[in-house]
Amino acid sequence: MTVEVIDNLQMIKESVRDFAEAHIRPHVMEWDEAQHFPMDLFHRMGEHGFLGVLVPEAYGGAGLGYQEYVTVIAEIAKVCGSIGLSVAAHNSLCTNHILQFGNE
């Protein structure tokens, strides 16, 4: 692994961690107790590229690889496993199938 790759992963890790601490952690218990799915949070995560990590930039995604994908999921899941799982499902079960089997 090159220094550039390590630096990029560290930058992504810090960015996602900061986002999760600011936008997820303060609300986790409230969402859980109210059984609320935070759609507005998912819109913000989409704007930050967290919901299209593996999607090529040509299709509006971040165009990153699996190391970056795992880093994003891990940092979100450290704050809230449910949100982390939802982000993982969106990236791998939803968008991946569209990329693999969809057409122009």
What is the value of pTM for the model shown?
0.90
In the chain, what are the domains?
Answer: 3-101 (1.10.540.10)
Contact criterion met (CB below 8 Å) for 17 and 73: no
Grade residue 4 by pLDDT with cuts at 50, 70 and 90.
confident
Token pair recorded at residue 94: 């939803």
Whether pLDDT at 14 is above 70: yes
Grade residue 29 by pLDDT with cuts at 50, 70 and 90.
very high
Mean pLDDT score of the chain? 94
Say which residues have a Cβ less than 8 Å from residue 25's Cβ, sequence separation at least 6. 79, 80
